[in-house]
Amino acid sequence: MTIREQLEAREEEYLSPYATLSRRSRGREREEAQCDIRPVFQRDRDRILHCKSFRRLKQKTQVFLLPKGDHYRTRLTHTLEVSQNARTIAKALRLNEDLVEAIALGHDLGHTPFGHAGEKALNRVYHFSHNVQSLRVVERVEKQGRGLNLTWEVRDGILNHKTAGNPHTLEGKVLRLSDKIAYINHDMDDAIRGGILTEEDIPAEIRGVLGNSCKERLNTMVHDVIINSMDQPEIRMSERVEKAMQELRRFMFDNVYLNPKAKGEEDKAVHMIEQLFEYYVKHLELLPQQYLDAMSDPDNSREQIVCDYIAGMTDSYAVKKFEEFFVPESWKI
Ligand code: MG
């Protein structure tokens, strides 16, 4: 018996009857030989961690554009916090931690530079949403266009991670909820750090249910998911905590995500991404070879390929390209 087979057997003995077993995976896009050490989802997690798109997350905005402080979240630290929440929940519920972690590390790979401003811009000039793009990255963009050849369960979790999505595995559902729990709490923490809000601005009814600090609220939400989902074929929260969490999310939308102080630079970012898109569509020859090669596939429109390229840019690379195309040499600082 190989080490992988031993690990798979251990999953069958130990995990919840509702967990997704590595041995029962629906498989990869293209069949390939199994690893002798790692079960499939562990291997997928490693593939995502080693890919270039993952490393670029460190220079992509979470909410606050080009933050000046060192302690604001980036898309990378958001991803790691999502992964931590999701693994805590999955471990407690005896679900497949490797699957949850693989989905977590991959879920935002398709996020644009400048957070939702970038997404809005690409959606205006082309149809774009970051969850679909994350799937495109792992299937069609990474590894010079060959993709990472991940399992069906990981791809399903990545595609369906947004609020309206409906993942087919409990691990995917854990991830979807953990993403929301993570961003509500850390975006609030960053908003307080940035002086946009104070703890006391959060309505007392919400704090009465969830707690009086980011730490307390995170703890309440994670506990609530675990207690209410234990030995159940679904992932859910109590009505009381879920309602308070939705109210906190609405409060965040009104006071942080749409706050002019936080979002003052957003219109400039939208404009910049739109300009870059139009410029590249007219000057396809400026794209790297991999993207030019992808154009020979009749399924890929030139707009789609330009979207792939721009969505993959870090904030700083997008600014650099914008300066290169639109700012005369002598005016660059
Ligand atoms: Mg996310």
Query: Could you read off the pLDDT of 215-274 as tens digits, one per residue?
Result: 999 999 999 999 999 999 999 999 999 999 999 999 998 998 877 766 667 888 999 999
**Distance from residue 79's CA to the centre of ligand 1 (Å):** 6
DSSP 8-state symbol, 129:
-
**Distance from residue 183's CA to the centre of ligand 1 (Å):** 7
pLDDT for the residue numbered 177:
97
**Distance from residue 284's CA to the centre of ligand 1 (Å):** 31
**Distance from residue 195's CA to the centre of ligand 1 (Å):** 23
- pTM for this one? 0.96
Q: Would you tell me how many other CB atoms lie within 10 Å of the CB of residue 242?
A: 17
**Distance from residue 97's CA to the centre of ligand 1 (Å):** 18
Report the pLDDT averaged over residues 193-216: 95
Mean pLDDT of the chain: 94
**Distance from residue 132's CA to the centre of ligand 1 (Å):** 13
Residues 6+ apart with CB under 8 A from 30: 149
**Distance from residue 13's CA to the centre of ligand 1 (Å):** 32
**Distance from residue 107's CA to the centre of ligand 1 (Å):** 6
Residues 6+ apart with CB under 8 A from 47: 148, 149, 150
